[in-house]
Each structure stands twice: as C-alpha cells, then as structure tokens.
A and B are shown apart, each in its own frame.
Chain A
C-alpha cells in the first residue's frame, strides 16, 4: 500500500511539473522534453523581457504601483525569446520586450505580436580596457574595423569575452559582424559566404580565443565586473558597457573604452509588443504601458540608465556626461555605421554553423543524480528530459543545443555508486542516442553520493588536463541536492587536484525539497551558478549550456 501511495505521490509530482503546459497526461511521457519549455505564470500579465532590461525593472514597478497591475517577469536572451514566439498563438506571454525586431521577426512567423514599438535604442559596441585600447592605438581612432578586433583577439593581444551567439542578441550580432569582416565585408552576407571553408577556419580560430561563452549580456557584465583580471574586452550594448564602467570605477578598476567599428555593427531597438490571448483588459494595460514608457519623464529615466531615447540622435550637451562619458569613448553624436543583417534564412544558417562547427568545443561533464529521492519526486524524469534535449539530435537542433563534432561529453550517473562514465567524442547521432539509451534506462535508486560522484568526475577531468586548453570545460550537476555522503570528499579532491575556480560547476536542481545550502557549498568550492530545473527546463538548460 505504501508503495502505491509513493507511486501516486511521484505521479502527482510529475503531473504538476508537466501541468505547467496543460498537456494531457496521455502525452506527458513522450512529450516530456518540451513539457516545461516555458514556465507559465498562472495569473497576472506574463511579461517576457530581454535579460539586458533587468535594470529597468524599477521603472516597470513604478507602473505596476500606479496602475494596480502585476507583471510576472521572465527574462530570456533574444534567441530564446525568438524560440518562445515560434509557438505563435500558444506563446505563453502577453507582453514581449526583446532587444531587436529581428528576433521578433524570426520567431513570430504566425504574426501574433501586435503593436510592437521601439522604446529606446542602444548600439552594440566593443568595450576594451582603456590601457589596451591605448596600446592598440584605438583611442580617438574612428577607423577601427571589426577585422582589427578579430586580429587582436586571434593573436592574443586582447582576451575577449562575448555571449553565446545562439542565445543572445549581442553574441549573434558580433558573430555576424565577424562573419562579414572575414568574408571581405560583402554588402550582405549569403549562404555562399557561410559555406566558405577559409572563413570557417578563421572564425573558428577566433572563437577559440574567446575566453568564455555566457548566456546573456547582463551576466557577461556581472562576470566581467566580478573578475576584471580575466578579460580585456567584451562585446555588449553601449548601455551595458556604461553600467559595467560605473561598477568598475566604483571598485577602483580600469574602465572599458568603447569602440564603434567603422565597418558597422547593429543598433538594438528594444521593441515592446503585445500578444493577445483574448483578454481585452490586457490590451488596455499594454497601451497604457507603452504610453508610459514613451512619456517624457520615463524616457528621461531610461536615458539616465545609459539607453538612447531621443529621436534623430542625442545631442552631446543633452546627456549626462557621467553616464555617456566621453572619456570612455562614448560619443553620442558619432554616425553609427550599420551592417546589413542578412535575410532570416541566412541568420538561421549562421547560428547553426556557430553551434555545430565554429564555437570553441565544450568539454562537458554531466554528474546525474539517480538516487531514490530523485526517482520519487519526479526529478529523474526531468533529468532524463534535459539529457534528451542535448543528446537526441532532432531535439537539440530544435533548441540550438547541438553537440559539435569536436565536443567531448562524459556522463556520470550515480546513486550510492558512481556509474559510467559514458563518454561521447563528437556528435555521431548513433553515439549520442546510444549514451542516451544508457542513461534513460532503468538505473539507480539507492543513496545519494553526490560528493563522491563529483570527485570521480574531477579525477576524469584531471586525466585529460593537457587537452583542456582547447575546450571550454564545465561540470553540470543535476540533483535534488540531498547528498548522503560527506562534502569533505569533494573539497579534499578540489584541494588535491588544484583545479578549483578555473572550471565552473553548474547545478540544476529538481524536486520540491532541494537542499540549496548543500548545493551552494559545492558551487563555492569551484565557481558557477545554480538553477531551478523545475521551472522552464529548456530555458535553464540552454542558459547553462550557454556558459560552455
């Protein structure tokens, strides 16, 4: 009886997770990978925003207060926003505020986004440490081109950071800037340019010199501010370089100097659009919000946050020089040259090329909890769904999560024992599916030796230490956090191997009773971040994979 009861509880837990997309239970099993594609807040106005708008939230809060409404915010990178819109009328958001209408156009094939209007703009720029910019003679030099930046990165004159092209607008814009510069700056990029092997080799070399992928422009700023010693330069919005500089200067660190490449980049225009789900009152609130955001008073607040708001360009004497600081290379009167973004089919092909062939290969270690608690709280099902996203080629392609031919993937399932590793070198579909079959089969059920499993995984990484410089390594832990072995096992191993902070660990947690303090302690011993895998699993998984 007790077993039946436990089984019932587990089923309920699973259904409650799947229920967030209101799927019929009959479909739940087969549709598990998509089951939590997007977390859908049950009430209020569901607001999808680019993560770079996070620091504008107080402005939205002010509106919430004045109008007695509540926004359920979901922040995503632009490419993820595009994927959310591909669901058309089933898009689980009411208001959509992405970085550029390019992503709305690519995602919204069913034309469900209405009344989209630009709220502000910010050019995509290169921010280079002032001393490096001086060294490279880039200060007050209007002639710096993308190919000069490519050259400096490829020859290791600057250590460069950017977001993942398959997640974030700035990463994608930079990548298309690189494609274009390395194709001889054609008027508009075509499929033929993307197919060129010489270009592919050059860009691959360039991306191998990029220090780290990051899922969003905002996180890239956080990372750079936290570790200014690691990078010399990044690509980001002018607004976010301003924000990074304010923080760097406050810390007594050197600010970044802004380069607007002479051969052109893009300007994000941040359109706010409405997706109708039949509730007319939301339409009224939307129009009110748009009017509010475009009002003089609010536009001034947005301007104070380093976004450009005025029509026909900003006048130098109309802006706060401590924000749009000329000493940081910021020049609001400068003509910003545009790169012509290619048609959507070329954009798609370019993103796929980045994901499957060009990005720096990943060395990914998955440490997967198959303990009894995971089996009973639905965690194991979610974990399998997550791994299916990565290892089933068709699923991976859908979410731009493809394993590349040069990636190394090693999987360590565990309960009170550690199984595997199941190692996949490259992306042969048969190998990927074979490993998937192994880890989605009937395994596990005992105790939770998380720390022992992590120590085993670290041993494996150390065995391959000499190969690691050619990869972006990362450890992914998927667990409900309730370890039964001692953390000392893991900490001793970290100290013994001396790998510590240069390899990040990302924890995706499942189940209702996550022992978050234990997870935090593990992350503290290395570096990284933890994510709640019960909400928006696809989104979270794409985010963590963005980091390697």
Chain B
C-alpha cells in the first residue's frame, strides 16, 4: 500500500466515524430542534422501580442535550412521597394513579400532571407451575408464548382453595396463593390489593357500596401471606433464588425485562424457567409525573420525547403512557411479553383505596415494637 492509498483509507475511516458519531449522538436531530431551555437541575422524588431508568446514561444524555435537564432523583416510596409537603422538590413521580389521587386528597395542587409510562401488574411463576396452571385450565397460553391467567379460581380460599398437590405439584406444600410484597410499604403490593378487591367484586371496580363486604376478604387474603418483603425487588430477587419457595409472585411487567438486560448471562435460563403470567383482568401501574414547579413541568415534555420513550421500553420494559403509542415486544430480550395488555381494569377511587389501606394496616402492617 503506497502513502496515498493509506491516506485515503485513513480519511475514509475518519469520515465514516464522524458520520457514525453524528448519527449515534443524534446531532442531526439536535440541530433540527428549536433552542432548548436553560440548563437546570430538577429535584424529583421517584418510585424505586424507575431509578435504573433515570440512571441510564443514554436517558441522561437525551434529557441534558435536548432539554438542558439534569434529574436529581431520590428514591421514595410512592405512598410516602404524597403523604406530606415536600419543600424544595420540583416534582413527584410515583408509580400509580392511587398515589396521584392521594396527593389531591391530601390537598396537593399540581402545576401540571401527565402519565408517562404504564406497567402492567403481572405474576411470575416457574415454568413448571405455569404449565400446571394451564393443565388445570386456570391459565391458558395465547399465541404460543403468552400466559394468561384467570384469577377467579386462584383466589378462592378455605376448603375451596386449590392445593399445590391438587395441581400435580406435591413437593410444594399447602394451598395455592399469590405472594406479594407488603402493600403498606410497596406500590406493587398496594396495586395487588386493588386488583384483588376488583376480582373479588366479580371483576368490577369496587366502590364505596361494595367495600364493606370486599375489604375484609382482601385483608384476610393478605393475612395468609405472613411476613411480606419490604420492597418489590426483594421479592423478585428471592423468587429468582428459590422460585419454588413462593411459586407465584406479584410484580411489574418490566422487572423481568430490566433484569434480563442487566444479566445477559441469565437470559436463556429466564426464558426457559420463568414465565410472566398476565392476570385477566389486571391493573396498570401508571407512572404519573406530578410537577410542583415550572422546572418540574419541563421534565414532562422531555420524558415524552420519542427517544426517551423508546429507551424506556427497550431497555427497561416500561410501556408508553402516551395516547396512541405502541410497543413492539419483538425488540425485547425476553419472551412471553404481549404486544398489548388487554383487560385492564381501573383501580378503585382514592377514598376507597384509603379504606382498603386502613383495613390492611390493622391486620397486616407490623406493630411498632
């Protein structure tokens, strides 16, 4: 190779690299955009399940480069963050509509509020358990890979309750029950309480009218679960360590997606041994962004950015909360995730949920020593 050829090759590589960088960093899009706002750091209280998303450097890059925003996120439970005044905080980002309603019930007035993501409340099971549920016609497999579970039978109690032995799994002791994390401490636990209340109300949203007959049943169900995990991720982790120990757990749909992305070495094992069960009906864990200041309001636009929404789905498993948006499961590294989640039922209204929580705290929440 003579000098000229070498120079030409180097020049070509440089040009190609510059172009790749241009595309990769979305400089073209950046230049096409109107001027971004001034650089600010926005203080946001965030439910724990979105911390990994906000820590994602690609998300941070878009927020900063396109919108001039840096998020100073602190991890606070969804119910805790709406309980009192939060001076100096620009926004709250809880994990459910319930939290947003409680915020208003407590006298909160947002500057703006918009739902950013949805995450379905699902169940996780070892494949052997999922298949046993299919054989017992409690669950069915749709499109060859998506497990859908009819909850009614699953939540029968007393003598009518299913036993694991009855499902052909004699090595698992006792009656079939669905484990969740503590509903007084975790949003997923509380969403499960909401779902359970609706299911026990013949798949209808519970209102004040039915509540007196439903609430004791919900409390009684949680009582059967004994000591519960204090965070959604603790339950998911212990499930992965010993899947047969609590063979059906409640979780967010995005947990398995996020875990598989962070642990490529476990993807095959997850695919073959763990299944996501979609309850019919189920509830959305929505992620309303409650802006308390004008800076907080700027974040709403940034989070609606298509690139941010894409990263949220592909790398964290959060479905878009925006009207008309779709999410393609083929892009994900895990299987068994449907394109859309059907049979979504609303969570009961704020005052109803408040009463359900009061019932749970009497029976479930640990007493202070």
Residues of A at under 8 Å CB distance from B? Answer: 86, 101-102, 104-106, 109, 116-118, 121, 142, 185, 187-189, 262-264, 267, 269, 271, 308, 311-313, 334-345, 347-348
CA distance A102 to B230 in the complex (A): 9
Smallest CB gap from A109: residue in B: B368
Tell whether B70 is near chain A: CB-to-CB under 8 Å: no
| B126: chain A residues within 8 A (beta carbon) | 312
Known pairs A121-B242, A264-B174 / 4 extra A-B pairs, C-beta < 8 Å: A105-B227, A109-B366, A338-B173, A338-B246
Known A-B contacts A117-B237, A335-B172; A188 and B226 likewise in contact (beta carbons under 8 Å): yes
CA distance A187 to B364 in the complex (A): 16
| B223: chain A residues within 8 A (beta carbon) | 188, 343
Complex partner residue of A313 from B227, B243, B366, CB under 8 angstroms = B243
Taking a contact as CB atoms under 8 Å apart, the answer to whether A311 and B234 are in contact is no
| B324: chain A residues within 8 A (beta carbon) | none
Smallest CB gap from B246: residue in A: A338
Taking a contact as CB atoms under 8 Å apart, the answer to whether A269 and B238 are in contact is yes
| A338: chain B residues within 8 A (beta carbon) | 173, 245-246
Known A-B contacts A105-B366, A336-B242; A263 and B173 likewise in contact (beta carbons under 8 Å): yes
Smallest CB gap from A143: residue in B: B170
Complex partner residue of B366 from A188, A262, A336, A344, CB under 8 angstroms = A344
| A347: chain B residues within 8 A (beta carbon) | 227
Taking a contact as CB atoms under 8 Å apart, the answer to whether A106 and B245 are in contact is no
CA distance A343 to B230 in the complex (A): 12
Taking a contact as CB atoms under 8 Å apart, the answer to whether A335 and B171 are in contact is yes
Complex partner residue of A187 from B174, B240, B246, B266, CB under 8 angstroms = B174
Tell whether B241 is near chain A: CB-to-CB under 8 Å: yes
The digit string for B116-133, where 1 denotes a CB below 8 A from any CB of A, is 000000000010000000
Taking a contact as CB atoms under 8 Å apart, the answer to whether B273 and A312 are in contact is yes
Give the distance to chain A from B32, nearest Cβ to Cβ, in Å. 39
The 3 closest A-B pairs by CB, nearest first: A344-B366, A335-B171, A337-B173
CA distance A104 to B231 in the complex (A): 12
Known A-B contacts A101-B230, A116-B234; A336 and B244 likewise in contact (beta carbons under 8 Å): yes
For chain B, residues 155 to 205, give those with C-beta under 8 angstroms from any C-beta of chain A. Answer: 171-175, 177
Smallest CB gap from B274: residue in A: A312
CA distance A263 to B366 in the complex (A): 26
Complex partner residue of B243 from A187, A263, A312, CB under 8 angstroms = A312
Give the distance to chain A from B20, nearest Cβ to Cβ, in Å. 31
CA distance A514 to B243 in the complex (A): 52
Chain A contact residues: over half helix, strand or loop, or mixed? loop
| A86: chain B residues within 8 A (beta carbon) | 369
Known A-B contacts A101-B230, A187-B224, A335-B172; A118 and B369 likewise in contact (beta carbons under 8 Å): no
Counting chain B CB atoms within 10 Å of each CB, the highest count among A104, A188, A312 belongs to A312
Taking a contact as CB atoms under 8 Å apart, the answer to whether B244 and A342 are in contact is no
Tell whether B6 is near chain A: CB-to-CB under 8 Å: no
Taking a contact as CB atoms under 8 Å apart, the answer to whether A312 and B269 are in contact is yes
CA distance A347 to B126 in the complex (A): 29
Taking a contact as CB atoms under 8 Å apart, the answer to whether A311 and B366 are in contact is no
| B238: chain A residues within 8 A (beta carbon) | 101, 118, 121, 267, 269
For chain B, residues 225 to 272, give those with C-beta under 8 angstroms from any C-beta of chain A. Answer: 225-227, 229-230, 234, 237-238, 240-246, 266, 269-270
Counting chain B CB atoms within 10 Å of each CB, the highest count among A185, A262, A343 belongs to A343
CA distance A480 to B225 in the complex (A): 51
Contacts A/B (CB < 8 Å), 5 sampled = A109-B369, A269-B238, A269-B241, A311-B269, A345-B367
Complex partner residue of A348 from B225, B226, B243, B369, CB under 8 angstroms = B369
Give the distance to chain B from A522, nearest Cβ to Cβ, in Å. 38
For chain B, residues 55 to 74, give those with C-beta under 8 angstroms from any C-beta of chain A. Answer: none
CA distance A313 to B266 in the complex (A): 12
| A342: chain B residues within 8 A (beta carbon) | 226-227
| B174: chain A residues within 8 A (beta carbon) | 185, 187, 264, 340
Taking a contact as CB atoms under 8 Å apart, the answer to whether A336 and B245 are in contact is yes
Taking a contact as CB atoms under 8 Å apart, the answer to whether A101 and B245 are in contact is no
CA distance A23 to B270 in the complex (A): 53
Taking a contact as CB atoms under 8 Å apart, the answer to whether B229 and A101 are in contact is yes
Taking a contact as CB atoms under 8 Å apart, the answer to whether B245 and A267 are in contact is yes
CA distance A106 to B367 in the complex (A): 9
Give the distance to chain A from B221, nearest Cβ to Cβ, in Å. 11
| A142: chain B residues within 8 A (beta carbon) | 171
| A271: chain B residues within 8 A (beta carbon) | 234
CA distance A105 to B238 in the complex (A): 15
CA distance A202 to B273 in the complex (A): 42
Taking a contact as CB atoms under 8 Å apart, the answer to whether A341 and B367 are in contact is no
Complex partner residue of A311 from B224, B226, B241, B364, CB under 8 angstroms = B241
Complex partner residue of B241 from A187, A308, A340, A341, CB under 8 angstroms = A308
Known A-B contacts A187-B224, A188-B223, A335-B172; A313 and B369 likewise in contact (beta carbons under 8 Å): no
CA distance A343 to B175 in the complex (A): 18
| B171: chain A residues within 8 A (beta carbon) | 142, 262, 334-335, 337
Smallest CB gap from A264: residue in B: B173
| A341: chain B residues within 8 A (beta carbon) | 226-227
| B225: chain A residues within 8 A (beta carbon) | 188, 340
Counting chain A CB atoms within 10 Å of each CB, the highest count among B226, B229, B266 belongs to B226
Give the distance to chain B from A446, nearest Cβ to Cβ, in Å. 43
CA distance A105 to B235 in the complex (A): 13
Smallest CB gap from B367: residue in A: A345
| B269: chain A residues within 8 A (beta carbon) | 311-312
| B274: chain A residues within 8 A (beta carbon) | 312
| A121: chain B residues within 8 A (beta carbon) | 238, 241-242
For chain B, residues 255 to 310, give those with C-beta under 8 angstroms from any C-beta of chain A. Answer: 266, 269-270, 273-274
Known A-B contacts A267-B242, A312-B274; A118 and B237 likewise in contact (beta carbons under 8 Å): yes
Taking a contact as CB atoms under 8 Å apart, the answer to whether A118 and B242 are in contact is no
CA distance A102 to B229 in the complex (A): 8
Smallest CB gap from A344: residue in B: B366
Smallest CB gap from A261: residue in B: B173
Taking a contact as CB atoms under 8 Å apart, the answer to whether A343 and B173 are in contact is no
